[in-house]
Amino acid sequence: MTVNELRSKYIEFFKSKGHVEISGKSLIPNNDPTVLFTTAGMQPLVPYLLGEPHPSGTRLTDYQKCVRTGDIDSVGDPAHLTFFEMLGNWSLGAYFKQESIAYSYEFLTDPKYLGIPSEKLSVTVFEGENANGTEIPRDDEAASRWEEMGIPRERIYFMPREDNWWGPAGQTGPCGPDTEIFYDTGKPKCGPDCKPGCHCGKFVEIWNNVFMQYNKDAEGHYTPLARKCVDTGMGAERTVAMLNGQATVYDTDVFVPIINKIEELSGKKYGTDEKTDRSFRVIADHVRTATFILGDPQAVTPSNVGAGYILRRIIRRAVRDGRKLGLDGTFLTAPAAVVIEEYKNAYPELEEHKDFIFKEIENEEKKFLNTLKKGEAEFEKLLPNLQKNPQKIIPGRVAFRLYDTFGFPIELTQEMAEENGMKVDVEGFKEAEKKHQELSRDTSGQQFKGGLIDHSEITTKYHTATHLLQQALVNVLGPQVAQKGSNITSERMRFDFSFERAMTKEEIKKVEDIVNEQIAKDLPVTMEVMDLEAAKKSGARALFGEKYDKQVSVYTIGDFSKEVCGGPHVQHTGLIGHFHIVKEQSSSAGVRRIRAVID
66 known member of a binding site: no
Rounded distance between C-alpha atoms, residue 104 and residue 106, angstroms = 6
The pLDDT value recorded for residue 441 is 52
Instruction: Tell me the CA distances in angstroms from 143 to 108, 150, 154, 364, one per residue in order.
Output: 17, 11, 11, 51
Give the count of beta carbons closer than 10 Å to the beta carbon of residue 403: 19
Q: Which residues contact 123 (CB under 8 A, 6 or more apart)?
A: 146, 151, 155, 156, 157, 179, 180, 181, 182, 196
82 touches 289 (CB < 8 A): yes
Q: Which long-range contacts (CB under 8 A, 24 or more apart) does 152-157 make?
A: 155/121, 155/122, 155/123, 156/122, 156/123, 156/124, 156/125, 157/122, 157/123, 157/124, 157/125, 157/195, 157/196, 157/197
**C-alpha of 505 from chain center:** 38
Class of domain 456-598: alpha beta
Find out whether 38 and 64 touch, Cβ atoms under 8 Å: yes
Check whether 200 is labelled as a binding-site residue.
no
What pLDDT score was predicted for residue 373?
85
**Which candidate, 185, 202, 206, places its Cα nearest to that of 193?**
202
Domain 3-250, second-level architecture: 2-Layer Sandwich (3.30)
Count CA atoms within 13 Å of residue 93 on its CB side: 13
Q: Which run of H or of E encompasses 279?
A: helix 274-294
**483 pairs with which residues across the strands?**
497
Rounded Cα distance between 331 and 262, Å, is: 9
DSSP assignment of 77-108, as one string? BSS--SEEEEEEEEEESS--HHHHHHHHHHHH
Identify the pLDDT of residue 170: 66
- Domains in the chain: boundaries: 3-250, 255-365, 387-449, 456-598
Which residues fall within 8 angstroms of residue 60, CB to CB, at 6 or more apart?
19, 20, 21, 22, 45, 54, 89, 90, 92
Q: 3-state DSSP call for residue 419?
A: helix
pLDDT at 70: 81
| CA–CA separation, 414 and 428 (whole Å) | 13
Bridge partners for 174 per DSSP? 215
Distances in whole angstroms, Cα of residue 531 to Cα of each of 55, 549, 554:
9, 8, 10
The span from the first CA to the last CA of the chain, in angstroms, equals 56
| Dist. CA 172–CA 183, nearest whole Å | 33
Give bridge partners of residue 205 from the DSSP assignment: 182
pTM of the model: 0.77
| List of residues 6+ apart from 23 with CB closer than 8 A | 62, 547, 548, 549
The span from the CA of 358 to the CA of 361, in Å, is 5
Q: Which residues of the chain have pLDDT under 70?
A: 31-34, 169-170, 437-455, 544-546
Q: Which residues pair with residue 494 across a beta bridge?
A: 487, 595
| 327 φ, ψ (degrees, to nearest 5) | -90, 105
Q: State how beta strands 525-531 and 156-159 pair.
A: unpaired
Bridge partners for 135 per DSSP: 130
| Residues 108-145: b if buried by 16+ CB within 10 A, e if exposed | bbeeebbebeeeebbbbbbbbeeeeeeebebbebbbbb
d(CA 585, CA 100): 49
Residue range 375-389, pLDDT digits in tens: 888 888 889 988 888
pLDDT single digits (tens) 402-416 = 887 777 878 788 888
The vertex-551 CA angle with 518 and 293, nearest 5°, equals 85
Q: Are strands 525-531 and 493-498 parallel, antiparallel or unpaired?
A: unpaired
Q: According to the model, what pLDDT value does residue 71 have?
A: 79
What residues does 529 pair with on adjacent strands?
A: 553
> In terms of C-beta density within 10 A (0-12 exposed, 13-18 middle, 19 or more buried), how is residue 65 classed?
buried
Asked whether the beta carbons of 136 and 129 are under 8 A apart, the reply is yes
Distance CA 478, CA 393 (A): 63
Q: What per-residue confidence (pLDDT) applies to 486? A: 82
Q: Is 565 annotated as a binding residue?
A: yes
Q: Is 80 annotated as a binding residue?
A: no
Sign of the alpha-carbon torsion through 184, 190, 195, 199: negative
Rounded-to-integer distance, Cα 179 and Cα 164, Å = 6
311 and 106 Cβ atoms separated by less than 8 Å:
no
